[in-house]
Amino acid sequence: RTRAHRIGVAGRGGAMADEESGRARDEHNGEEDPEDDDDVELASQGFGSCPDLGAGGGESSSDDESEALGMRRPWYSAMPYFVAGDIDGFVALFSNNLACMLSGSQMLAAALPKEIIYDKIIPGVGASMLFGCVWYVVQAQLKASKTGRTDLTCLPFGINTPGLFAFNSGIILAVYHAEGESPDAAWTAWKVGVVANFVQGLVEMILAPIGPYISGAVPMVALLGSLASVGLAWLFTNTLQAEATWPAVTFAPFFFFVCAMFADIKVPKMPSTLLPVLLGAALAWATGKAKSSDVSTAMNEIGFHMMTPDLAPFEQFGAVMSYMGIVVPLALTVAIGTIQVRQMAENAGDNYNLQWSMFGDGLSTVIASLFGSPWGMTVYIGHGTFKAMGAKIGYALASGLCTVVVC
């Protein structure tokens, strides 16, 4: 409608004349009334040109807002649970934890009976692994829900590799030899290791509230420097020494892994970490490193091992005091390592809560001890690598679930 028409209706007199006059004027000038444009613009935004239409527009706006709120996803589905990049991430994380668990078990096999290793330690690892992976998946989902981001990668999680070797050699095997290397000594050594792991977890949880102050007071160069030394000494050099024992089996897969990770050379439609695993397995069978008798022996150990809490080790709580020189420094190292890993995640664009991460590491370690494992748990170095793979949260959840199945 034109303004002339509205004025004519309001005045109830000379309406037709005013309207015709207005039309003639508009046609003569070849222009539309400016207020008409305002009415059209307001109508396009959901507001009417008069009060009753305006009320209707308000209802429409409210409906749109309600629809938008209804489409918002709940926090537990803020990110997809599985994407293609999670395949690479799962292979890397699961194989790393599996290798660490097998190495630790083999290290203790000469001292501890199978009942302790397969009925106590390994199920304890499974329980804590599942809890920790779910913990960090929830952390990522909450972060995604709060920020609206869907490109987050949850922190990788697993067995604390340096701590495993330190506890095995410095506590469990030391107690075993000190107690006379008898069957009773084996059970005592396991109990002391479990209680020491419990104390380690408590120390980490206590340090969680002051984690941000440590992060602010210590230069990042110092934090990353110590992290690099741990990675170089335990994760690279130690592994490379083991590979050098069977170079015909290990060097070729290592070369392919380096090409995939550092040169971005990949086989089309195949996870980058899967080819080295398959190649290593094939070479092991071809060179005689893997034997059918080994498989037969391992098959005898397959069975259902229930994950149940065990408080019997806490009978040896007093004996742990003699090993606090190992427990406390290791707990401090893990706490600092968590700060470092969280900082590396922030450098990659994923700024997670430090206190949540430190408390999660400590709580996972406590749960591991309550279920019989003497090995601590922690977030892993290499968040940026998993993010570069395209992994999000599915890789961690799959690693936790598969670890439970294996254990």
**Residue 85's closest CA among 394, 401, 390?**
390
In 208-245, which ranges are continuous DSSP H helix? Answer: 211-217, 220-230, 238-245
φ/ψ of residue 274, rounded to 5: -80, -40
pTM of the model: 0.71
Question: How many other CB atoms sit within 10 Å of the CB of residue 5?
Answer: 16
Give me the sign of the Cα torsion angle 97, 103, 106, 107: negative
Task: Express the helix, strand and coil content of the chain in percent, nearest 5 each.
Answer: 75, 0, 25
Within a 13 Å sphere around the CA of 200, how many CA atoms are in the beta-carbon half?
37
Q: What is the per-residue pLDDT for 294? A: 80
Rounded Cα gap, residues 271 and 85, in angstroms: 8
Kindly list the distances between the CA atom of residue 349 and the CA atoms of 87, 142, 342, in Å, as whole numbers in the listed order: 21, 16, 11
Q: What is the per-residue pLDDT for 42? A: 34
Q: What is the per-residue pLDDT for 306? A: 81
Q: What is the per-residue pLDDT for 72? A: 67
Q: What pairs with residue 2 in β-bridges?
A: none
Q: What is the per-residue pLDDT for 71? A: 58
The low-confidence residues of the chain, meaning pLDDT below 70, are 1-72, 220, 223-231, 233-235, 238
Question: How many other CB atoms sit within 10 Å of the CB of residue 205?
Answer: 19
The label of the residue with tokens 């005689």 reads 288
Q: What is the per-residue pLDDT for 230? A: 63
Rounded Cα gap, residues 230 and 123, in angstroms: 27
Q: What is the per-residue pLDDT for 35? A: 42
Within a 13 Å sphere around the CA of 252, how many CA atoms are in the beta-carbon half?
12
Q: What is the per-residue pLDDT for 343? A: 84
Identify residue 357 by its one-letter amino acid code.
Answer: S
Residue 130 and residue 348 in contact, taking contact as beta carbons nearer than 8 Å: no
- Helix, strand or coil for residue 378? strand
